[in-house]
């Protein structure tokens, strides 16, 4: 995780901090680990973690992870199936250059979605049994996520270093029957449940960045200059039907009698009816200077010029909303290390943010709001 003032040196899209999930890295030693376990109920899983060098010089190294999970959970009526495959390959053509390729595939299938309870009554002293779903067995979700990319780290000489990366993420969500369920609790023997149907969705994000770092000294003061460019491109597809519209409402259900026959799906739910809903591009140029006056005091200053372009479309192909704007935002942070393992800092930063895309539970679903500038003041202490 990157947080506090150091975020500016690593990312152009997050203000104040980010969590960076990465594929497990290749190892310079032989690795073979097999794990078998149970998460509760019939949820057994198997995980294999393999890695190590491919050649005698250890310039090629790999990491392979395989994971499977399947069965009914500890909650009756809920079952879960998961698969995860990830692979990473490192190559050091020279001691100063690292090339990396990585790929990951995640499959998630759930039957019997967990209940969503909304209390419409007050004063009762009972709750539903947490070991029972009280939802329909045909509700659930079916999601596949594919991620792949590569990166480069090159220490050109004692002054210059180059780092670059590219990643593409594709997420497809196809509810097996298109249904989720929510329940209103009026009384122990008076439950209202309504089913939601959701058509398949598709999200694609891809982006890359390149940064040049330069270490220079001006007398006793040390500088690390950063020059960078980052680009993110995304699009989403949806079905003409509202993916969270109420499909069927049933009253007077009880804890002992809550089953609802499966309704027929509407024709527009078919995968082939998906249309382009949103597209967007974010690009930014960055310049910064990490100034170290001595072992205790340092100052980070920088600026980013971000351009945001976003469009939304209606089911008939007409454009809903659009903007294309750019702004320059600053950042400044003062850091003090009273002892080597403790850092106190104060920071101010601005970030040009994408406008909110209205969610599916509102009548203006898909509308794109204007971008905005967020501002953050931060005081913190970090121990290492």
The DSSP result for 107-150, as a single string, is EEEEESPPP-EEE---S------TTB--S-TT-EEEEEEEEEEE
Residue 267 has pLDDT above 60, yes or no: no
Q: How many CA atoms lie within 13 A of 271 on its CB side?
A: 7
pLDDT digits (tens, 9 = 90+) for 15-59: 555 555 567 899 999 999 999 999 888 889 999 999 999 999 999
Give mean pLDDT, residues 335-343: 94
> Residue 61 above 90 pLDDT?
yes
Could you tell me if residue 68 is inside a domain? no
Q: Strand, helix or coil at 6?
A: helix
Q: Are 266 and 241 in contact (CB under 8 A)?
A: yes
CA distance 285 to 305: 5
More confident residue, 336 or 130: 336
- Cα–Cα distance, 308 to 368 (Å, whole number): 12
**Domain-located, residue 228:** yes
pLDDT at residue 243 tops 50: no
Distances (CA, A) of 4 to 72, 108, 177, 332, 343: 42, 34, 44, 11, 11
Is the pLDDT assigned to residue 259 strictly greater than 60? yes
Contact 239, 173 (CB under 8 A): no
Question: How many domains does one find in the chain?
Answer: 1
Question: What would the DSSP string read from start to end of 335-377?
Answer: EEEEETTEEEEEEEEEEEEPPPBP-TTSTTTT-BPPPEEEEEE
Q: Give pLDDT, residue 314.
A: 79
CATH number at residue 192: 2.40.170.20
Q: Please determine, for residue 1, whether its predicted confidence score (pLDDT) is greater than 50.
A: no
Task: Say whether 64 sits in a helix, a strand or coil.
Answer: strand
Does residue 50 lie within any of the structural domains? Answer: no
Burial of 195 (0-12, 13-18, 19+ CB in 10 A): buried
* Average pLDDT over every residue of 233-241: 79
Residue 330 located in a structural domain? yes
CB 82 within 8 A of CB 108: yes
Which of residues 198 and 290 earns the better pLDDT score? 290
Q: Is residue 58 part of a domain?
A: no
Other Cβ atoms within 10 Å of 254 Cβ, number: 12
- Within a domain: residue 69? no
What is the DSSP pairing of strand 117-119 with strand 179-187? parallel
The overall average pLDDT reported for the chain is 84
> Do residues 141 and 113 touch, judged by C-beta distance below 8 A?
yes
Other beta carbons within 10 angstroms of residue 56's beta carbon come to: 6
Domain extent at residue 219 = 2-32+84-101+142-383
CB 240 within 8 A of CB 289: no
Residue 166 lies in a domain: yes
DSSP 264-327: PPPGGGSGGG-EEEEEEEEEEEEEEEEEE-SSSEEEEEEEEEEEEEEEEE-TTS-EEEEEEEEE
What mean pLDDT do residues 183-187 have? Answer: 70
In sign, the C-alpha dihedral spanning 244, 247, 249, 250 is negative
Note the pLDDT of residue 163. 96
Taking Cα atoms as reference points, which of 334, 331, 321, 322 lies closest to residue 364? 321
DSSP, collapsed to helix, strand or coil, labels residue 7 as helix
Residue 199 domain-assigned?
Answer: yes
């Amino acid at each position: 995780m990157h947080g506090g003032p150091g975020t500016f040196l690593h990312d152009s899209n997050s203000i104040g901090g980010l969590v960076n999930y990465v594929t497990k890295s290749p190892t310079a030693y032989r690795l073979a680990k097999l794990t078998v376990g149970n998460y509760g109920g019939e949820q057994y899983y198997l995980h294999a973690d393999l890695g190590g060098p491919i050649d005698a010089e250890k310039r090629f190294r790999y990491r392979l992870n395989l994971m499977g999970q399947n069965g009914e959970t500890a909650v009756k009526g809920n079952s879960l199936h998961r698969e995860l495959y990830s692979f990473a390959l490192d190559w050091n053509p020279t001691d100063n250059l690292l090339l990396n390729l990585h790929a990951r595939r995640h499959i998630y299938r759930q039957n019997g979605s967990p209940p969503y309870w909304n209390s419409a009554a007050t004063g009762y002293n009972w709750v539903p049994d947490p070991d029972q779903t009280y939802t329909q067995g045909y509700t659930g979700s079916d999601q596949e996520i594919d991620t792949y990319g590569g990166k480069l780290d090159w220490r050109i000489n004692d002054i210059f270093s180059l780092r670059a990366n590219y990643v593409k993420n594709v997420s497809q969500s196809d509810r097996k029957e298109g249904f989720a369920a929510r329940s209103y609790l009026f009384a122990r023997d008076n439950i209202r449940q309504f089913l939601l149907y959701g058509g398949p969705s598709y999200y694609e994000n891809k982006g890359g960045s390149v940064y040049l770092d330069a270490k220079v000294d001006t007398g006793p003061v040390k500088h690390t200059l950063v020059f960078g460019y980052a680009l993110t491109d995304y699009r989403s597809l949806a079905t003409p039907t509202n993916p969270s519209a109420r499909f069927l409402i049933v009253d007077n259900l009880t804890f002992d009698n809550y089953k609802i026959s499966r309704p027929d799906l509407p024709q527009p739910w078919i995968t082939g009816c998906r249309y382009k809903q949103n597209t967007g591009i974010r690009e930014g140029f960055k310049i910064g200077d990490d100034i170290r006056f001595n072992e205790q005091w340092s100052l980070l200053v920088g600026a980013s010029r971000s351009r945001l372009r976003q469009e939304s479309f209606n089911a008939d192909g007409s454009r809903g909303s659009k903007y294309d704007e750019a702004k320059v935002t600053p950042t400044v942070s003062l850091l003090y290390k009273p002892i080597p393992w403790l850092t106190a800092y104060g920071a101010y930063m601005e970030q040009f943010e994408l406008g909110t895309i209205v969610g599916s539970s509102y009548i203006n679903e898909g509308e794109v709001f204007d971008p905005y500038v967020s501002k953050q003041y931060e005081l913190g202490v970090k121990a290492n």
